[in-house]
Amino acid sequence: MRNRLKVLRAERDWTQGDLAERLGISRQSVNAIETGKYDPSLPLAFRIAGLFGLAIEQIFQCD
């Protein structure tokens, strides 16, 4: 699964740590999701989408 997390984060000038803090997860998790090593659960994907004010499919796309 591909995602636009890095781009969305950069648009807001957030570090991985900033995003992790806003989501209540570890920076390791943010890095793993951004680099495509880990696909988040549905509840976490909803939290990410809610934070950016977007729909899940606007952030995550199937390969």
Smallest separation (angstroms) from another protein to the CB of 33 = 8
Q: Are 8 and 16 in contact (CB under 8 A)?
A: no
Give 20 or 49: the residue with its C-beta nearer to another protein.
20
d(CA 25, CA 29): 7
Residue ranges in contact with another protein by CB under 8 A: 17, 20, 25-29, 32-33, 37-38, 40-41, 44
Tokens of 61: 């796309």
Q: Residue 30: how many CB atoms within 10 A of its CB?
A: 26
Give 8 or 33: the residue with its C-beta nearer to another protein.
33
Give 40 or 60: the residue with its C-beta nearer to another protein.
40
